[in-house]
Amino acid sequence: MQLSRQIQAWLLLLPALCLLVAFTHYPVVKTVARSFFGFGVQWEDAASLDNYRYLLEDEVLGQVLYNSFMYAAITVPVSIVLAIAMALWVNSKMRYKGVLRTAYFTPTILPMISVANIWLFFYSPEIGLLNKLLALVGHSGYNWLGDPSLSLYSLMAMTIWKEAGFFMIFYLAALQTIDTNLYHAAAIENASKWTVFRRITFPLLMPTTLFVLVNALLNAFKLVDHLFILTKGGPNNSSNLLLYYIFENAFSFFDTAYAAVLTVVLLVILVVLALLQFGVIEKRVHYR
């Protein structure tokens, strides 16, 4: 009886487990293997470090990694600050805050690819909306996507627009769990709004912030859809990001082996972030 219960458990688990192994664990192992044994789309008989040697020589990679880290380092904190502000507004006694919440949240459920088409129009150099607005104040405008010093920032702006409302949701949930007595006490003490935020709200939101932070960082390395519409990583790789570069190598340049090495780099980054998350979760537990 006990044994059959064991078998039953495995039978229930098996379908999901097989698919997970086939499309998560097996490809991870195969990626690592290919990074040593791969050559172009072929497999070699002996392992070599040639692909990794190429990695070190690849100047584009340096640019791509720099872009990816900048992309994360700017979009994540800005989105988080906006998300906290949005959550505070939506959670306040403001009129029509339901409308506001919908406005903030809408970008989250729209496909990145479709809205990128609209953003493309905002950014376009001659007839684009941003430059038209600048023309009103007598400015000649920028080439938002075509100027290598601007293209990455233009992508970031859209990412922040897309992500902030999503993170707001987590803060909204957290705000609703804060004990209102704390605010009553602060009111009796005549504390200013800023003091209340700094001494009560923000510290109590800290676990949420850590949670959002790690998830946002993970997300930042996966969000590349808009590159396909807005810049295709250009001009001159100035807005290229790691996952897009992997895609290019695998499906445009047909260098599967090098794409595998790049995937290993991305996996290492994700593992480091995951380890960070373990630390974070531990802190959360301590905090409570």
Partner 1 sequence: MNRITHYLSTGLAWFIGFIWLFPLIYAVWAAIHPSEFATRFSLFAPLTLDNFKEAWNQAPFPRYMINTIAITMIILAGQLVLCTLAAYALARMQFKGRGFMFALILMQLMVVPEILIVENYQTLAGLSLIDTYWGVALPYLASAFGIFLLRQTFKTVPEDLENAARIEGCSLLGIIWKVYVPLAKPTYLAFSLVSISYHWNNFLWPLVVTNTENSRPLTVGMSIFGAPESGVDWSIISAGTLISVGPLLILFLIFQRQFVQSFMQAGIK
Q: Which residues 243-282 are close enough to bind partner 1 by CB under 8 A?
A: 243, 246-247, 250-251, 256, 259-260, 263, 266-267, 270-271, 273-274
Query: In the 8-state DSSP scheme, what is residue 45?
Result: S
The total of other beta-carbon atoms located within 10 Å of residue 235's CB is: 14
Residue 135 engages partner 1 in binding (rule: CB under 8 A): no
| Angle, in degrees to the nearest 10, between helices 256-287 and 59-91 | 40
CB of 173 to partner 1, least distance (A): 4
Which helix (H) or strand (E) is 204 found in, with range? helix 202-220
Separation of alpha carbons 107 and 127, rounded Å: 24
Q: Which of 16, 56, 137, 285 binds partner 1 (CB under 8 A)?
A: 16
Query: In the 8-state DSSP scheme, what is residue 49?
Result: S
Place of tokens 């904190």: 77
Per the omega criterion (within 30 degrees of 0), is the bond before 235 cis?
yes
Q: Which of 1, 46, 56, 127 binds partner 1 (CB under 8 A)?
A: 127
Specify whether the backbone of 40 is left (phi greater than 0), alpha (psi in -120 to 50) or beta: left
Q: Which of 55, 65, 74, 100 binds partner 1 (CB under 8 A)?
A: 100
Closest CA to 51 of 262, 210, 235, 250: 262
Place of tokens 């233009």: 154
Q: Which of 39, 69, 153, 228 binds partner 1 (CB under 8 A)?
A: 228
Residue 37 engages partner 1 in binding (rule: CB under 8 A): no
Residue 165 engages partner 1 in binding (rule: CB under 8 A): yes
Q: Which of 49, 99, 133, 187 binds partner 1 (CB under 8 A)?
A: 99
Residue 206 engages partner 1 in binding (rule: CB under 8 A): no
Backbone angles phi, psi at 191, to 5 degrees: -75, 145
How far is CA 238 from each of CA 115, 243, 245, 266, rounded to the nearest angstrom? 22, 14, 12, 19
CB of 278 to partner 1, least distance (A): 11
Residue 193 engages partner 1 in binding (rule: CB under 8 A): yes
Q: Which of 36, 37, 71, 170 binds partner 1 (CB under 8 A)?
A: 170
Residue 6 engages partner 1 in binding (rule: CB under 8 A): yes
Q: Which stretch binds partner 1 (CB under 8 A): 118-126, 133-141, 181-189, 195-203?
A: 118-126
Site size toward partner 1 (CB under 8 A) is 86
Q: Which stretch binds partner 1 (CB under 8 A): 50-58, 62-70, 164-172, 182-190?
A: 164-172
